[in-house]
Structure 1
Amino acid sequence: MNYFILSQDERISNAVEPVGIAQVIKKELLTLDRIDELEELERQFPVLEKNDMLYIDFIEKPIALLSDAVKQLVEKYNPSMPFKAVVLMDMPKLMQTLYWLVIPPKVPCLSTQTEFRLDGTLKKLVLDEAKAAPYSFFQIEGIKENYIVVNIELAESILRRDLRGIRLQKIQTEGRWNDILSVEKAL
């Protein structure tokens, strides 16, 4: 099966940017076992003022936020996925926009072919298909990077819609399907 890293399209220079969210919602709270602690936190944040600001469908930094359209798609594939509402406020325009904080499960699905640099960052990412197969939307356990991964079915659903600001980067995999493709190429 094919998997893709879901990321924000950096070519969009006027994308909306929440301000102060990283100081309130700390990265260490972004785990499934601490999701209840998020209930008590402030969930309204101002945005950095820009000309012609574009409200994209996936904000990657400082924390992952999904637009309502992307959240609904992810929910179809993962009905039990926990989401928390976050409101971004454009004070000069008196506008509020709903986004969703998502905490995907961390899946131990690294292949033995994955390579790391000396500082522990990824040099070559390879997923084990068998370990990743039950999941359509997840993070990878055992790496420093905070990648959100989607399977091909969810990636195709994202691409069929008119969503803005999303990039999908294919991840190399090892497993049954690659073995079958290798045999077919050899024939």
Structure 2
Amino acid sequence: MEYFILRQDQSITNPIIPLKTDLDADFVCSSVFAEVVEKENALYLDYLDKPQSIVSDDLKELLAKYEDGLVFTAIVFTDVQKGTQRVYWLMDIAKKNCISDETTYYPDGQMKELVIDPKKVELDCIFQVDGKKESFTLVNLEVAESMLRRPFLGIQLQRVKLDRR
């Protein structure tokens, strides 16, 4: 099986910007309101990776079809100045300790190249890998292909190397 890092497309220069919210690792609630700033012609992307993995309604619907264990918390993004609101979803994704010894790092501890051990992934379609300084959301090939067949905005997929030992 092949896996891909799901990332926010950094080439889009005018996405909405979620302001600081009270979301932390222990946050549990049925919904939360978060203020956003819409620059001129701001785009509401289907995937945001800051402050955490946040997806649009359409992407949530697709991901839920592939992974039963995903838990979503509604986030209502509100632009007070423009008086607009949109519902997004914070994803609670299973974390996997599947980083291979073949993974390489920069001297500052940032990951240079992620290599995962496919034996430790089991049959998960969507999961999160926690590195020393950053975490990644990974999807398998089937999910990636399904995402690419739809008109999602702001998503990048990067192939991950597999440990072949």
TM-score using structure 1 length:
0.81
Match of 1:169 in 2: 158
Aligned pairs for 1:94-105 (under 5 A) are 94-105=83-94
The match for 1:135 is: 124
Residues 66-111 of structure 1 deviation map (CA, whole Å, 9 limit, x = unaligned): 0011111110111221110000012233221000001211101112
Answering whether residue 146 of structure 2 is matched by residue 157 of structure 1, we say yes
| Equivalent in the alignment of 2:105 | 116
Q: Supply the distance in 2 between the matched residues of 1:125 and 1:107 (Cα, whole angstroms).
A: 13
2:9 corresponds to: 9
Q: 38, 52, 72: which is aligned to 2:28? A: 38
Deviation at 1:46, TM superposition (A): 1.5
Shift in Å at residue 146 of structure 1? 1.5
Matches within 5 A, 1:82-93: 82-93=71-82
Task: Output the amino acid matched with 1:76.
Answer: K
Q: Does 1:77 align with 2:66?
A: yes
Residue 154 of structure 1 aligns to a residue whose secondary structure is: helix
RMSD: 1.8
In structure 1, list runs of 5 or more residues that go unmatched.
Answer: 177-187
Whether the 8 Å contact between 2:5 and 2:158 is mirrored in structure 1 is yes
Q: Which structure carries more helix by proportion?
A: 1
Sort the Cα spacing of 1:107 and 1:94 in 2 relative to 1 into closer, same or farther, 3 A.
Answer: same
Q: Say whether residues 1:62 and 2:25 are aligned partners.
A: no
* CA deviation vs aligned residue, 1:31-81 (integer Å, no higher than 9, x gap): xxx4xx4218x7111111310111110011122210011111110111221
- Cα distance between partner residues in 2 of 1:121 and 1:53: 30
Question: Which one has a bigger Cα radius of gyration?
Answer: 1
Alpha-carbon displacement from aligned partner over 1:111-142 (angstroms, at most 9, x marks no partner): 22112334332232111112124111111145
TM-score with structure 2 length normalisation?
0.91
The amino acid of 1:8's aligned partner reads Q
Equivalent position to 2:114, from 125, 131, 147 = 125
Decide whether the 8 Å contact of 1:130 with 1:175 is kept in 2: no
Equivalent of 1:107 in 93, 96, 99 = 96
Residues of 1 paired with 2:74 and 2:18: CA distance? Answer: 14
Q: 4+ runs of 1 displaced by more than 6 Å?
A: none
